[in-house]
């Protein structure tokens, strides 16, 4: 399915409850039940909300996973995903990661007895060497914040699979429009939707998409139990953002619509660090050369043109 089709038909085609052609904001906490022994599909807003649900379906479609989950922030998505692990588990984590992720691993999750080894994830051998019998997870970010280091997602997914690790990729800088870690073999993708998924610097939001339903159900149980959900208003704000991505291919249109034009810049910058690798895993996006004065980005999957290697 083409990206544009995927965007308009995934979770936001129409409101299944009213037929409204735009998903409404269901600003509600509690739902009446016809029968206390047989609850309807919605009972309490922390567990389910139709606006959040529409966004979560869209996220799942876009990243190519079985389940999408919307969180109150990127850190809520990351932290909730880390709660899949147990005290005593060991994680291998890329050294170049967002500072907040480093902080929560070295403070909160350190106290919670998650043992973490930070490695240069651009070097698959360093990752392999750090794996121990008690290693349960691999967490990377690419392009990473702040150094825009590029990690080979296919290589990381293969290592994780070979050692039975849960693999998590922070895809904030690329968005699923440009890079889909699940298609490259990852189990979980997390986002600070505050950035390019939201697109307008007017909300704080996070997202996680899980490749397989069984793991998705476990993360969804954590989302419900831990409670770091995205509210209906902010869910609604992120929804049209994703719908407008295809038309927002330039920085000026990005200002008018919610769009990932900023990740065009991220891609350009990342191309400085590892252009060959970046071109193979950030599959569909073509940008002017990083040094070009006037950025113009087009997604080749939208235009039907093959990806450029320039």
Question: CA-CA distances (angstroms) from residue 207 to 27, 31, 75, 297, 303?
Answer: 20, 25, 9, 25, 27
- Which one, 12 or 142, has the nearer CB to ligand PLP? 142
Residue pair 238/86 in contact (Cβ under 8 Å)? The answer is no
Among 11, 94, 176, 206, binds ligand PLP (CB under 6 A): 206
179 part of the interface to ligand PLP, by CB under 6 A: no
- Which one, 6 or 191, has the nearer CB to ligand PLP? 191
141 part of the interface to ligand PLP, by CB under 6 A: yes
142 part of the interface to ligand PLP, by CB under 6 A: no
Rounded distance between C-alpha atoms, residue 143 and residue 282, angstroms: 10
- Which one, 42 or 98, has the nearer CB to ligand PLP? 98
Tell me the closest approach of the beta carbon of residue 256 to ligand PLP, in angstroms.
Answer: 23
- Which one, 152 or 234, has the nearer CB to ligand PLP? 234
Which one is catalytic: 195, 211, 258, 268? 195
Per-residue binder mask for ligand PLP (CB under 6 A), 35-74, x = binder: --------------------------------------xx
Among 69, 75, 138, 209, binds ligand PLP (CB under 6 A): 75
242 part of the interface to ligand PLP, by CB under 6 A: no
Q: Are strands 166-170 and 188-192 parallel, antiparallel or unpaired?
A: parallel
Tell me the closest approach of the beta carbon of residue 194 to ligand PLP, in angstroms.
Answer: 4
- Which residue in the shown chain puts its C-beta closest to ligand PLP? 74
Active site annotation includes 31: no
121 part of the interface to ligand PLP, by CB under 6 A: no
194 part of the interface to ligand PLP, by CB under 6 A: yes
Active site annotation includes 170: yes
Candidates 75, 85, 47; CA nearest to 207 is: 75
Rounded distance between C-alpha atoms, residue 4 and residue 1, angstroms: 8
User: How far separated are the first and last CA of the chain, in Å rounded?
Assistant: 26
What residue has token string 């170049």?
96
Residue pair 96/73 in contact (Cβ under 8 Å)? The answer is no
Per the document, the length of the chain is 310
Catalytic residue numbers, as ranges: 46, 98, 170, 195
- Contact residues for ligand PLP, defined by CB under 6 A: 73-75, 98, 100, 141, 145, 170, 172, 192, 194, 204, 206
């Amino acid at each position: 399915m083409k990206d544009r089709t995927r965007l308009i038909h995934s979770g936001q085609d129409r409101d299944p409850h009213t037929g409204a052609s735009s998903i409404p904001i269901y600003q509600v906490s509690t739902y009446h039940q016809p029968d206390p022994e047989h609850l309807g599909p919605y009972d309490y807003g922390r567990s389910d909300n139709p606006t959040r649900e529409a966004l979560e379906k869209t996220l799942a479609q876009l990243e190519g996973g079985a389940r999408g989950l919307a969180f109150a922030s990127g850190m809520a998505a990351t932290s909730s995903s880390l709660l899949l692990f147990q005290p005593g588990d060991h994680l291998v984590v890329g050294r170049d990661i967002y500072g907040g992720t480093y902080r929560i691993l070295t403070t909160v999750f350190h106290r919670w007895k998650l043992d973490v080894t930070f490695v240069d994830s651009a070097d698959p051998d360093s990752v392999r060497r750090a794996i121990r019998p008690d290693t349960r997870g691999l967490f990377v970010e690419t392009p990473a914040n702040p150094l825009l280091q590029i990690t080979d997602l296919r290589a990381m997914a293969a290592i994780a699979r070979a050692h039975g690790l849960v693999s998590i990729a922070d895809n904030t800088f690329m968005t699923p429009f440009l890079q889909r870690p699940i298609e490259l073999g990852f189990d979980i993708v997390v986002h600070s939707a505050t950035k390019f998924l939201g697109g307008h610097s007017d909300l704080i939001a996070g997202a996680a998409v899980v490749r397989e339903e069984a793991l998705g159900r476990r993360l969804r149980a954590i989302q419900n139990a831990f409670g770091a959900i995205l509210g209906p208003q902010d869910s609604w704000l992120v929804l049209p953002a994703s719908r407008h991505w295809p038309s927002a291919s330039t920085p000026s249109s990005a200002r008018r619509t919610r769009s990932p034009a900023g990740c065009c810049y991220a891609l350009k910058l990342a191309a400085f660090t590892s252009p060959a690798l970046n071109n193979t895993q950030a599959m569909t996006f073509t940008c002017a050369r990083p040094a070009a004065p006037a950025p113009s980005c087009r997604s080749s999957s939208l235009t039907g043109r093959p990806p450029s290697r320039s």
